[in-house]
Amino acid sequence: MQRLQAYKYELMPTGEQQRDMRRFAGSCRFVFNKALALQQVNHEAGGKFIGYVEMAKQLTAWRNSAEMAWLKTAPIHPLQHALKDLEKAYKNFFEKRANFPRFKRKGQSDSFRYPDPKQIKLDQANSRIFLPKLGWLRYRNSREALGELRNVTVSQSCGKWFVSIQTRREIDIPVPRGGMVGIDLGIARFATLSDGSFVAPLHSFRRHEKALLKAQRSLSRKTKFSSNWKKARIRVQKIHSRIGNARRDFLHKTTTTISQNHAMVCIEDLQVRNMSRSAAGSTETPGRNVRAKSGLNKSILDQGWFEFRRQLDYKLAWNGGHFIAVPPRNTSRTCPCCGHVSADNRRTQARFECVECGYENNADVVGAINVLRAGHARLACADTSPEVGASGQEPTEATIQFSV
Ligand SMILES: [Zn+2]
């Protein structure tokens, strides 16, 4: 079995390298935005979606034009990769996995990727890496990167630069341990397992919310671009990054434990995107129950259900297990005992009581049991090997964060 893994390290660039990296990230953002604008103009004119090959030709034209000649000073492969990123964003939109691609702003996920391993040299013994147009960069070598190098992503966060090295290596397929389990995701309990156990939510955002509000208020009182304003802004960014770290840590711990103890995990195929869509509605159709829904939105976004699913999927594959997404169908309203389906079965958020047979349990546990059953049903339908397990998704930078 092939394992893809990403190793992230902090870079120790020279001043010149920092300036270059900022410039390259800016050039990639420019190309992404320009291509997105072109797609939009083309679409409004009734044109078809412009594919990557055609768009790459445009990029060549931009680089050869007098007014955008500065694009030539940036490495070509990361610029092309920005176009691939845009195509992926469109694909996710077409397949209803994401919202419409948005223009990128400066300072918002500043990064660029070198997709061609032939142009990269990794010298782990001397803690340095060679990247086109940047030269040798030193990095904090906290852990050995195993496997064959595939691509490298450079990114900036809180004033620091990082390099994420993705590798591929052959490993023996492990024999999965444990049985099959269903999981219900919720607000009061982050994850409830069909065996009755559950994972309490972290609410990393809530916990830091007060500190963040205070820092943001202090920032808004400062004169823009003054030195105090800059200091206050760094404080806000730091709290944001603390929230992110706590959440990442929580998700990794949870998904590692679950994937190590189960051979098969069934989960409801929730459209988190729909649930977290703006609750306020439009002026014509103002949203109902706005306050309650925005509370729910905050919790969903806070807890990272998508990231949870993504991690479970690839970690199960790493451990030789399987991941099954089942369509959400009455999972919260069906009685696991007699099969009776009724909204009345669930009188409160927390309690399930069947109006037919009187079966009682925690509502989330009932949901998890029904998800597990739906997973069993899906397995029974598939004749040979079920369409489950590794989705083939590549690990992103968030996947593994060893070092730093
Ligand atoms: Zn019943």
110 is catalytic: no
Distance between CA atoms of 156 and 154, rounded to whole angstroms? 7
For helices 15-44 and 76-94, the axis angle rounded to 10 degrees is 40
Domain boundaries, the chain: 2-170, 179-380
pLDDT at 302: 59
| Closest residue by Cα to residue 251 from 312, 193, 178 | 312
Distance 365 CA to ligand 1 centre (A): 14
DSSP E strand stretches across 80-223: 111-114, 121-123, 128-131, 135-139, 148-157, 160-170, 180-185, 191-193, 198-199
pLDDT at 167: 95
Residue 29 · residue 187 · CB < 8 Å = no
DSSP code for 163: E
pLDDT at 271: 60
pLDDT at 201: 82
Distance between CA atoms of 123 and 130, rounded to whole angstroms? 8
Helix residue ranges per DSSP H, 76-203 = 76-94
Ion ligand 1: residues, Cβ under 5 Å: 335, 337-338, 340, 354, 356-357, 359
Splitting the chain (404 residues) into consecutive groups of 10 residues, what average pLDDT does each group show?
Answer: 89 97 96 96 93 95 94 96 95 85 84 96 97 97 94 91 94 84 88 93 73 89 91 88 84 93 89 47 41 50 77 90 88 89 85 91 93 89 45 38 30
Distance 263 CA to ligand 1 centre (A): 29
Classify 193 as helix, strand or coil.
strand
Distance 360 CA to ligand 1 centre (A): 8
Distance 191 CA to ligand 1 centre (A): 24
| Closest residue by Cα to residue 328 from 388, 384, 268, 369 | 268
In terms of phi and psi (left: phi > 0; alpha: psi -120 to 50; beta: otherwise), the region of 158 is left
Distance 336 CA to ligand 1 centre (A): 7
Indicate whether this model's pTM tops 0.85: no
Question: Could you say which of 20, 110, 268, 302 is catalytic?
Answer: 268
44 is catalytic: no
Question: Could you say which of 20, 85, 184, 397 is catalytic?
Answer: 184
The three-point CA angle 268-270-272 to 5° equals 150
Distance between CA atoms of 123 and 98, rounded to whole angstroms? 38
In terms of phi and psi (left: phi > 0; alpha: psi -120 to 50; beta: otherwise), the region of 146 is beta
307 is catalytic: no
pLDDT at 32: 96
Q: Six-digit token pair at 270? A: 């929730």
Q: Six-digit token pair at 102? A: 């948005």
Helix (H) / strand (E) element for 376: namely: helix 363-381
Residue 337's DSSP bridge partners are none
Strands 180-185, 264-268: pairing is parallel
